[in-house]
Amino acid sequence: MAGNSNTPNYFNEMFSGDGVRPPYRGLESWSNDMPLELRSLKQSEAEALFRRIGITFAVYGEGGDPDRLIPFDMFPRVFSGEEWRKLDRGVKQRARALNAFLCDVYNRGEIVRAGKIPGHLVYSNEAYERAVAGFRPPGNVYSHIVGIDLVRTGPDEFFVLEDNCRTPSGVSYMLENREIMMRMFPQLFRENRIAPVENYPRLLRRTLGSVAPLKCEDEPRVVILTPGHYNSAYYEHSFLADMMGVELVEAADLFVEGDFVWMRTTEGPRRVDVIYRRIDDAFLDPLCFRPDSMLGIPGLMNVYRSGGVTIASAPGAGVADDKAIYTFVPEMIRFYLGEEPILNNVPTWQCAREDDCGYVLANLKDLVVKEVHGSGGYGMLVGPCSTKEQIAAFADKIRENPGNYIAQPTLALSTCPTFTKEGIAPRHVDLRPYCLVGDGMIELVPGGLTRVALTEGSLVVNSSQGGGVKDTWVMAE
């Protein structure tokens, strides 16, 4: 989300009419008693740690330093165990349905045959990869790391803003935020029972190992494929490789020979079984996708389709997190799982529909409009904080290509206490938990990436748009 809140009626996650809400009671005296000088010292210490460790994030299109620090707020966001149990169930339910959808549309397409989803939204979607139609990956798992973006509007009101089924980023910040908080405020962790998140790399390694191809004969060799150090999330790629104890590779480190993918090492070629790719589909294999790609491995897709290697997440998984497909996820849950959705979608208008488009054009000043294939907060219009000229220009874009846009109401996102120069103040937040899906297993660590809008009233939480991050606590019970 982006823009400015136009309503004061938002849910404060720490304070209610009865005072401090139970999950935050362990933080009340800590925050109130911290002198301004100590807070400034700790903030500087956190920034120094981020800089020393190398936690940076490139923001495309900006001048100056392309590798800037992500702003870190020391005031943690806290969930009770009961609140987290609902999120845990809802996120896992959604991840199961999304994977069932992918398995279906790349094979029989039963949900389309049943008339639950229009076929053109799937098969004419630019994220649908015909090169893998008819192929079933190990365990029928297409999206192995599912990042679900959640927003909160009340004590029990959580909504899914969007799904990320390709290569969701940010998990390194979840882990490093916790590490830095434990180093700076160890007494808080002695005084509060906080569920750990540090086992995520072990769970990720186990998840990737579980989907090794049938041709794998020994302990699966897992690698992380990165576009290189110019990528905005390169720190995360190297961090996860180090934490999992696997190799971080670029295209030049891998080659195809026979029925397998091999890694060049100083001791000779070593066979690779699972590739956790952090590059887009289009660049994976120049023989199958973009012929000008310098980031992929020629012949990779032939090995993948013949069962010689597993690619996580699968090529073509992006069709499940398209913003036009998003509106049908509740129907997927009913169709594949026979259950009612635990977490609701944000109400959404599809501009491809004539009636929806008319409503959106008539109410642009009150809506958030997004590109169907957009991400990172780019290509959006936030009506409540846009000028008449901006709204008029965006209306022309919608009329020119209505199928490229969806619209949603401007939600009153919940707020969490945040340290500012003026003191502690509420700032809007969202949450991205990371669900790991393997062969016969599904895991969700108790926490996630909380992104925070740092400007008063702003709804800009995306790191690529200047938002910051917080540690996310789940209270153990």
Neighbours of 265 (CB within 10 A): 10
Q: What is the pLDDT of residues 49-62, one digit of tens each?
A: 888 876 666 554 54
pLDDT digits (tens, 9 = 90+) for 129-146: 999 999 999 999 999 999
Q: What pTM was estimated for this model as a whole?
A: 0.92
Looking at residue 7, its pLDDT comes to: 41
* Final residue belonging to a domain, choices 365, 394, 410: 410
Q: Is residue 182 part of a domain?
A: yes
Residues 465 and 359 in one domain: no
**Residue 467: its pLDDT value, please?**
81
Asked if residue 468 and residue 353 are part of one domain, the reply reads no
pLDDT for 226 equals 97
**Chain-centre distance for alpha carbon 288:** 27
Task: Find where tokens 């649908």 sit.
Answer: 128
Q: Residue 123 domain-assigned?
A: yes
pLDDT at 3: 40
Is residue 181 one of the residues assigned to a domain?
Answer: yes
pLDDT value of position 132: 96
Q: Verify that 165 and 151 share a domain, yes or no.
A: yes
Is 276 domain-assigned? no
Decide if 418 is inside a domain: yes
* Res 320: pLDDT: 97
Residue 397: which CATH number? 3.30.1490.270
Q: How confident is the model at residue 466 (pLDDT cuts 50, 70, 90)?
A: low
* Exposure letters 431-470 (e unless 16+ CB within 10 A, then b): bbbbbbbbbeebbbbbbbbbbbbbeebbbbbbbbbbbbbb
What percent of the chain shows pLDDT beyond 90? Answer: 77
When the pLDDT of each residue in the chain is averaged and rounded to a whole number, the result is: 91
Task: Give residue 46's domain range.
Answer: 15-197+315-346+413-474
Q: Both 131 and 163 in a single domain?
A: yes
Boundary of a domain, candidates 372, 392, 410: 410
Same domain (yes/no): 358, 469 = no
Same domain, 38 and 99: yes
Assigned domain for 103 exists: yes
Residue 47 confidence (pLDDT) = 86
Residue 323 and residue 355 in one domain? no
Q: Please compute the mean of the pLDDT values over residues 80-92 and round it to a whole number.
A: 97
**Co-location of 400 and 382 in the same domain:** yes
pLDDT score of 200 more than 50: yes
Residues 369 and 469 in one domain: no
One domain for residues 390 and 449: no
Beta bridge pairs of residue 61: none
Q: Is pLDDT of 69 > 80?
A: no
* Domain end marker among 388, 410, 432: 410
In terms of domains, do 355 and 338 share one?
no
**Structurally, how many domains does the chain consist of?**
2
pLDDT bin (cut points 50, 70, 90) of residue 82 is: very high
Would residue 237 count as lying in a domain? no
- Look at the block and give the residue holding tokens 């700790």: 42
Q: Quick one: pLDDT at residue 2?
A: 37
- The least confident of 218-222, 459-463, 469-473 is 459-463
- Give pLDDT, residue 463: 66
* 469, 358: one domain: no
148: which residues sit within 8 A by CB, 6+ positions away? 91, 94, 95, 160, 163, 164, 343, 432, 433, 435
pLDDT band, very low/low/confident/very high, at 377 (cuts 50, 70, 90): low
For the residues 431-437, what does the mean pLDDT come to? 98
Of residues 147 and 467, more confidently modeled? 147
